Structure formats: structure tokens, C-alpha cells
């Protein structure tokens, strides 16, 4: 291959790889063949490669067997120092065949160059795509409103129930669940059979009422007085969710006990147990569950209501300062303790005298006095939330959003006007200097090449 590498008809870089190409072709190798390499992504490249293969096969057929053997030997020994010093490495094939091979390569690289230009043009980015996209669709930047109810009574109950549970746990005890949440239970009453079962449920409640605590008995009395409606009418019971879950678990325990009892007693004894002892046991269990739940529920509810009353009991004291309040507390302390009360610090009183007793906006604050409050939120087109305030009524929350949204829309309009004016000023500046426009246009055209 040294003779081809020295030829002025072929580029040095091309024939540096030509040795590997010819070695693979003349040796018949398929796995290492340059012509059978992995196809390029471009379809044009594959077409050019197939054309080169045909031209190369035609050129190869013009070589004699000795010339083919010589080229193969030279290609295989291209990097063999010993072979490069031999006479075979310096031998050349006929010059007309070298020139014809150069024409084959030139045709191939000319085709590749054209394909490269076409591929580059297809990959040139579209600089106006964002502008077209913006023109196709108008983005909605408007705000959406959401009003969230804040149940302050529920917050207070949770706070006191959590505190009671923590204190009970410190003593190694359990504080009953105090949730007042109720749910409706629908008992089938569609036909005579289901109506009879509903009546049996009511009879069972009547038997369980005997010996129950007053609060439990009252709850059962209310159910019994309501009675079972006629067949076909809904039979609904409004029951505390906590008690439903607890009684369901207790019922399962009693059923397990009944199964154990049946394993060691006769059928008659089991029947008597179910008719006499089981209602009595169930009545005691139910009464215990109900009484504990009512105790915990009422205790937590009382604490929650007392806290609300405490904040509602605040009195307005116009003209008074925090120093006056502290003096009043200090005057009251001797009535509740036998120990002498130390005198107040004069410097501290002087500082407190600068602060009003009632800070503006904090008198009977709704967070402490309200049963429920309402958060007004604005949600933008990206899902971001903005808290506009917490209000005592839904109407106030709605008004807050309307006012805030009006300001938002006005700010958007002002921004549009500012952008329009800025665009006009920039266009005027460009029109005043044509050289800038030509420079930008030229840069865009060069980028598209």
C-alpha cells in the first residue's frame, strides 16, 4: 500500500484507512470488513456505501490474481516493521489501476459530501418555532379561587384529646377515643324477613338497656322510641363512629367466646347461653363502651368550649396599658396566697406603660373565638397557591379574592402596556440603525447554513 499512500492522486488521510479497507476486502472477512460495518443513521449514507461497493467490486475485477495477492500482502503488513523493509512493500501495481481506484474514492466522497450538506440542512434549528407556538395558543394566566373551611372546634378537640392521651400514657393508662364524629348506618328493611331482623336488633337493644349507665340508657331509649319503620322504608341509625368500631371488635370477641363455649357444652346449653347470658354480657360490654366514650367525648368538648369562652371573655379597656393590667394582677395576688408579693420593677412598668392593653386587630381575635373560619386562596395557572387571608364568613373570603384578582388583572394589563411600549421603543431604535438589523439578519442566515 506504500505506493498508493505516496500517490498525489489520493488524500493521505483517506489512504491511511485504505489499508484496513483493502485487507478486509481481499481477505474475504465479513466481520471486519469496512463494507459490512454497521450502517450509518442516514439513508443517503447507506445508498452511497452500496454504490461504492459496486464500483469497488468492478475495480477489483480488473486486477490480476498476482496484483490482488500483492495488495492484500501489503495491507496486512502495513504496520509490520520487518515487512516494510522488504522489496514486496515497495512494489506498485499499474498506474492506470491506481488512477481508476482514485476515481472510485473521489466519487464516493463527493456523494458523502452532498449527503452531509443535506443532513446538516435538515438539522438546522427552527428559530421561529416559539413564535409560531405562541401564536397558535393563548395561555390562560387567570387565577382560580378556593375557599377552605377551617374547623376551629375540631382543632381544639384534637389538641385536648392529644394532651389527655399523652397524660394517660405517662401513667400507663389509656384515654378513650373522644371523637364526636357520627355516621349513618342503614339496616335492611325491604321485606318481611329483613324487617323481622331489624325488630330483633331493637329488642336486643332494649334488653341491653337494662343496667346500663344513665347516658347509655338515654341513647338506647331514643333508638327504641324511634322504633323500626314499616317494611320498605329506610331504617337508619345515626351512630358514633368510634362506638361502631369498638362494638364491632367486641362483638367479634364474644362470637369467638361463643364458639369456645359450644365446643364444651350441649346444643341446649348453647341455646340457653345465647338467650339469657349473652344479652346480659353484651349489655354490660356495650354500657361500658358507651359510658367511657361519652365521658371522654364530653370532657374534651368541655375543655374545647372553655378555651373558646376564655378568648370570648376578653374585655375592651380603652386607655389602659399593659402596666395597668400587671398592677391589677399584682393587687389580686395577695388574696390567693399567704406569701408576701414582691414589689414590681419600676423600669419594667415604664416599658409596659408604652404598650396598649389591647393591640389593634387582636381584640377577641377570631382564631380564638370562632367555631369555623374560611381560608381564601388564589391559585395561578402553574398551581402555585397564595393565601389571601382567613375570614369568619365565606362571603368575606369571596370578597377578598374578587378584590385581589382585580388588582392582579390590572397589574397584568399594565405589564402588557409596558411590554408594548418597550417593543415599540426597541423597534424604533433598530429602525434608526439599519446596520444592527443587517448584522442580526446575517447572523441568523449563517446559523441556518
DSSP string across 151-185: EHHHHHHHHHHHHHHHHHHHTT--PPP----EEEE
What's the grid cell of residue 35? 463494507
pLDDT in tens, 280-331: 888 788 888 888 888 898 899 999 999 999 999 988 888 899 999 999 999 9
Bridge partners for 237 per DSSP: 185
- Cβ-in-10-Å burial (0-12, 13-18, 19+) of 366 comes to middle
Residues 314 and 54: their CA atoms lie apart, in Å, by: 102
Helix axes 95-123, 43-60, angle to 10 degrees: 180
Q: What is the pTM of this model?
A: 0.55
Judged by phi (left if over 0) then psi (alpha if -120 to 50, else beta), residue 75 lies in: alpha
Residue 307: predicted pLDDT:
94
- Number of residues that this document lists for the chain: 449
Q: What's the half-sphere exposure (Cβ side, CA atoms, 13 Å) at 358?
A: 14
pLDDT in tens, 141-185: 899 999 999 999 999 999 999 999 999 999 999 999 888 888 888
Residues of the chain with pLDDT under 70: 1-50, 120-127, 134, 137, 208-213, 215-216, 448-449
Average pLDDT, the chain: 80
What's the grid cell of residue 296? 371522654
Residue 387: predicted pLDDT:
95
Share of residues in the chain with pLDDT > 90 (%): 25
Amino acid at each position: 500500500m506504500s505506493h498508493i499512500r505516496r500517490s498525489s492522486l489520493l488524500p493521505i488521510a483517506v489512504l491511511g484507512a485504505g489499508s484496513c479497507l483493502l485487507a478486509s476486502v481481499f481477505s474475504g472477512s465479513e466481520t471486519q470488513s469496512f463494507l459490512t460495518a454497521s450502517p450509518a443513521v442516514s439513508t443517503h449514507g447507506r445508498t452511497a456505501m452500496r454504490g461504492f461497493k459496486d464500483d469497488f467490486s468492478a475495480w477489483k475485477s480488473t486486477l490480476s490474481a498476482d496484483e490482488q495477492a500483492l495488495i492484500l500482502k501489503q495491507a496486512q503488513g502495513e504496520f509490520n516493521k520487518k515487512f516494510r523493509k522488504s522489496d514486496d512493500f515497495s512494489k506498485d501495481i499499474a498506474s492506470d489501476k491506481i488512477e481508476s481506484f482514485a476515481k472510485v474514492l473521489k466519487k464516493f466522497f463527493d456523494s458523502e459530501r452532498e449527503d452531509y450538506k443535506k443532513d446538516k440542512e435538515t438539522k438546522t434549528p427552527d428559530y421561529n418555532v416559539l413564535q409560531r407556538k405562541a401564536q397558535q395558543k393563548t395561555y390562560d394566566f387567570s387565577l382560580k379561587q378556593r375557599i377552605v373551611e377551617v374547623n376551629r372546634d375540631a382543632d381544639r378537640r384534637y389538641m385536648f384529646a392529644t394532651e389527655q392521651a399523652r397524660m394517660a400514657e405517662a401513667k400507663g393508662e389509656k384515654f378513650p377515643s373522644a371523637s364526636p364524629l357520627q355516621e349513618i348506618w342503614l339496616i335492611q328493611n325491604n321485606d318481611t324477613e329483613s324487617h323481622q331482623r331489624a325488630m330483633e336488633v331493637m329488642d336486643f337493644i332494649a334488653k341491653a338497656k337494662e343496667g346500663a349507665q344513665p347516658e347509655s340508657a338515654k341513647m338506647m331509649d331514643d333508638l327504641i322510641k324511634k322504633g323500626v319503620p314499616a317494611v320498605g322504608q329506610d331504617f337508619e341509625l345515626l351512630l358514633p363512629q368510634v362506638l361502631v368500631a369498638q362494638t364491632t371488635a367486641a362483638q367479634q370477641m364474644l362470637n369467638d367466646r361463643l364458639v369456645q363455649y359450644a365446643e364444651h357444652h350441649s346444643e341446649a346449653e348453647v341455646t340457653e347461653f345465647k338467650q339469657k347470658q349473652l344479652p346480659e354480657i353484651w349489655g354490660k360490654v356495650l354500657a361500658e363502651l358507651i359510658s367511657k366514650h361519652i365521658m371522654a367525648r364530653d370532657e374534651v368538648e368541655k375543655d374545647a368550649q372553655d378555651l373558646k369562652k376564655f378568648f370570648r371573655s376578653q374585655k375592651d379597656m380603652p386607655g389602659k396599658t399593659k402596666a395597668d393590667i400587671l398592677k391589677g394582677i399584682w393587687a389580686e395576688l395577695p388574696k390567693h396566697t399567704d406569701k408576701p408579693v414582691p414589689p414590681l420593677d419600676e423600669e419594667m412598668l415604664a416599658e409596659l406603660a408604652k404598650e396598649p392593653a389591647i393591640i389593634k386587630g387582636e381584640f377577641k381575635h377570631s382564631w380564638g373565638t370562632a367555631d369555623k373560619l374560611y381560608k381564601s386562596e388564589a391559585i395561578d395557572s402553574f398551581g402555585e397557591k397564595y393565601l389571601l387571608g382567613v375570614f369568619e364568613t365565606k362571603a368575606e373570603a369571596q370578597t377578598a379574592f374578587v378584590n385581589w384578582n382585580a388588582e392582579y388583572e390590572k397589574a397584568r394589563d399594565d405589564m402588557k402596556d409596558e411590554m408594548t411600549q418597550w417593543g415599540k421603543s426597541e423597534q424604533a431604535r433598530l429602525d434608526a440603525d439599519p446596520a444592527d438589523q443587517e448584522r442580526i439578519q446575517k447572523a441568523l442566515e449563517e446559523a441556518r447554513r
